[in-house]
Every structure is written in structure tokens, then in C-alpha cells.
């Protein structure tokens, strides 16, 4: 992200999967849900999750092929074409450590976590600080449910999340200018906001590795870099963490990183965004259009750099 701008959004229309074709395929797959349940539990669960009507994205879905072949996942490389390399990510078994200011520090298997939450599908807009955007159906559950499972102590003010750092399968870890692992954080109030979502699926299937399998964060009102992938650890703390990009370029990336078209990044205007697929440019909205749900979180913070 900070090395160069790759214009990978220039995927030709020919390469994009038409939506009708994609939806047709999904219907067929849904019929096979029972059989899939035994072999691929995550995929099967994603297929069965009902779509929530709470947050209307108001945009066409991005073609699945575009959302799954144009990625940022620096552990696998600095360009957008990491989807193949990411297939080496080891995702089973998977567990998450709950640490820091929690009632009882412990490690939970992902299977166990999934037994205790109710999966739903939510269509969210996603806005990267590089100026591209997509609209995709995530399957998952509200982040507040994961926070509740972790059991934070009363003094906890922030949740810090870490991505797996596996040098055997992640070539990006050799780039020493980055401080691995990838770390992101939010306040407890943000984590408990209903819009904050933990995804385990995409387009009605298990989450692809390149999109952050098997479990990632999705914060649609913030720039995409806050939405940390492949989470292995959640630490509760009373100190604001230094996050991955903030640690590398503090003058370019901050802790809050809420979307705002009127606050340019030093290298990219944030006024408009390019939709993956047809490359149409549309105006960017404050909080990525989710202000009615989240603006209240930031009332009375005049001294904070809330946008980038």
C-alpha cells in the first residue's frame, strides 16, 4: 500500500463474472449444502446464513471474481494479485487467543466459536484508502458477540487483533521494513457497535484465503486497512495500540481511519472512489455512507484525527 500504487482495478469487463451467472451458481451450490456440511463445515454454514436487511448497501454487488482476485494481503506480496500465493495459508485447525484484560485468558478453537454464534449475511460497501471500492456479501456475525465470548475485564478500552505470521507460507514476512505481525485495533465502543462484523464467508461460501480466511474483521465505515485478516489473537487493553500502517508511516495512517471525502490522504484524494469491475467513479461519502450508525461514536473528540 505505501510502496506503490498498482492499478490492478483495470480488470477487463471480459474477465468479470456476470452477476446472473454467479447467482445461478450459488443456487446450485445451496442445493448441495447438506452434502457439503460434512466435508467443509465453514462453506456449508456460509451457504445457509440468512441475509440481513438491516444495512442496505444501495449498490450492485461487485462480481465475485473481482473481489477475490484483487486483494491487499501484504503477507503474500505487495501487489493485488496474491490470490494464488495465498492458497498456501494453513487454515485448519484454527484458533484465536484471547489475552490481556480478560476475565480468563484462553484459546478457543474456531469450530467452538462458530457453535456459539449465529451466522448471517450482510452486504457491505468496502472502501480502500487507495481509492477503490467494492460491495460484497459477507457471512459472519457481529463483532460484539466475539467480544462477549472473550469476556473482557471492566477496565478494557481497546481490542487489538493480530493476523497469523507464518514465515513458511507468507513470503511477505521477509520484507523487513514492515513490522509483522499485521496488527489493528478499535475502541471497545467501536467493537460493540452492531455494524462491526466478523466474517467467515463471502458470496455464500467459506471465506477465500486471499480475503482473510478463515476469520477476519469487517469495518465498513473505516478505510479497508482497519479490517484485519486471518485473526489469531485478540488482546484487550487500556492503552491505544500502534497499528500496522501507523507504525510504518504515522504521517499517512492513523488509528481512527474513518472514511471522509474531505480529508485527503497525502498521496490520494479521497473525494471519489473507483468501483471494482466497471471502474466507474462515484463520490465517496463520509463514514462510507454509514454515518447514521456510527457518527455518534465520535461525538466530543475535537482533538482526535478521526479521518486517516
Q: Which is nearer to ligand MTE, 101 or 140 (CB)?
A: 140
Minimal distance in Å, beta carbon 182 to ligand MTE?
4
* Rounded (5°) CA angle 70-211-143: 135
Minimal distance in Å, beta carbon 216 to ligand MTE?
7
With contacts defined by CB under 6 A, name the span among 19-27, 186-194, 224-232, 259-267 that binds ligand MTE. 224-232
Q: Which is nearer to ligand MTE, 236 or 244 (CB)?
A: 244
Among 211, 258, 260, 284, contact with ligand MTE (rule: CB under 6 A)? 211
Rounded Cα–Cα distance for residues 282 and 95 (Å): 39
Enumerate residues 47-106 that contact ligand MTE by CB under 6 A.
71-75
246 binds ligand MTE (CB under 6 A): no
Among 45, 227, 260, 284, contact with ligand MTE (rule: CB under 6 A)? 227
> For ligand MTE, how many residues bind (rule: CB under 6 A)?
16
Cβ atoms of residues 143 and 164 within 8 Å: no
9 binds ligand MTE (CB under 6 A): no
Among 182, 221, 236, 256, contact with ligand MTE (rule: CB under 6 A)? 182
Q: Which is nearer to ligand MTE, 225 or 290 (CB)?
A: 225
Rounded Cα–Cα distance for residues 101 and 152 (Å): 6
Q: Which is nearer to ligand MTE, 99 or 166 (CB)?
A: 166
With contacts defined by CB under 6 A, name the span among 54-62, 92-100, 101-109, 221-229 that binds ligand MTE. 221-229
Q: Which is nearer to ligand MTE, 74 or 307 (CB)?
A: 74
Q: Which is nearer to ligand MTE, 101 or 225 (CB)?
A: 225
270 binds ligand MTE (CB under 6 A): no
Who's near 76: CB < 8 A, 6+ residues apart?
Answer: 82, 85, 86, 89, 170, 171, 172, 210
Rounded alpha-carbon distances, angstroms, from residue 271 to 71, 127, 132, 259: 22, 12, 11, 10
| Buried residues in 239-271 as b, exposed as e (16+ CB within 10 A) | eebebbbbeeeeebbbbbbbbbbeeebeeeebe
Minimal distance in Å, beta carbon 115 to ligand MTE?
25
Cβ atoms of residues 294 and 155 within 8 Å: no
Minimal distance in Å, beta carbon 46 to ligand MTE?
15
Q: Which is nearer to ligand MTE, 86 or 101 (CB)?
A: 86
Pairing of strands 205-206, 120-127: unpaired
Q: For residue 200, which of 66, 24, 47 has the smallest C-alpha distance? A: 47
Instruction: Output the 3-class SS for 118-181.
Output: CCEEEEEEEECCCCEEEEEEEEEEEHHHHHHHHCECCCCCEEEEEECCCCCCCHHHHCCCCCCC
163 binds ligand MTE (CB under 6 A): yes
Q: Which is nearer to ligand MTE, 163 or 193 (CB)?
A: 163
199 binds ligand MTE (CB under 6 A): no
Give contact residues for ligand MTE (rule: CB under 6 A): 1, 71-75, 128, 163, 182, 211-212, 224-225, 227-229
Amino acid at each position: 500500500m505505501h510502496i506503490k500504487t498498482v492499478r490492478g482495478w483495470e480488470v477487463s469487463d471480459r474477465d468479470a463474472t456476470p452477476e446472473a451467472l454467479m447467482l445461478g451458481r450459488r443456487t446450485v451450490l445451496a442445493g448441495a449444502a447438506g452434502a457439503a456440511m460434512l466435508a467443509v463445515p465453514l462453506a456449508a454454514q456460509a451457504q445457509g446464513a440468512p441475509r440481513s436487511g438491516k444495512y442496505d448497501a444501495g449498490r450492485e454487488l461487485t462480481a465475485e471474481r473481482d473481489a477475490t482476485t484483487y486483494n491487499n494481503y501484504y503477507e503474500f506480496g505487495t501487489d493485488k494479485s496474491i490470490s494464488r500465493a495465498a492458497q498456501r495459508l494453513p487454515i485448519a485447525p484454527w484458533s484465536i487467543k484471547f489475552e490481556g484484560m480478560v476475565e480468563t485468558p484462553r484459546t478457543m478453537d474456531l469450530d467452538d466459536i462458530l457453535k456459539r454464534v449465529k451466522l448471517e449475511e450482510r452486504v457491505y460497501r468496502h472502501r480502500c484508502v487507495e481509492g477503490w471500492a467494492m460491495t460484497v456479501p459477507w457471512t459472519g456475525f457481529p463483532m460484539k458477540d466475539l467480544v462477549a465470548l472473550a469476556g473482557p475485564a471492566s477496565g478494557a478500552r481497546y481490542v487489538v487483533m493480530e493476523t497469523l505470521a507464518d514465515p513458511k507460507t507468507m513470503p511477505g514476512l521477509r520484507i523487513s521494513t514492515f513490522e509483522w505481525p499485521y496488527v489493528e485495533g478499535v475502541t471497545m465502543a467501536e467493537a460493540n457497535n452492531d455494524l462491526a462484523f466478523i466474517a467467515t464467508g463471502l458470496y455464500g461460501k467459506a471465506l477465500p484465503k486471499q480475503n482473510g480466511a478463515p476469520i477476519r474483521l469487517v469495518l465498513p465505515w473505516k478505510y479497508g486497512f482497519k479490517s484485519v485478516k486471518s485473526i489469531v489473537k485478540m488482546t484487550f487493553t487500556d492503552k491505544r495500540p500502534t497499528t500496522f500502517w501507523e507504525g510504518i508511516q504515522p504521517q499517512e495512517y492513523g488509528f481512527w481511519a474513518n472514511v471522509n471525502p474531505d480529508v485527503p490522504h497525502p498521496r490520494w484524494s479521497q473525494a471519489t472512489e473507483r468501483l471494482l469491475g466497471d471502474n466507474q467513479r462515484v463520490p465517496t461519502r463520509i463514514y462510507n455512507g454509514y454515518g447514521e450508525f456510527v457518527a455518534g461514536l465520535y461525538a466530543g473528540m475535537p482533538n482526535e484525527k478521526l479521518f486517516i
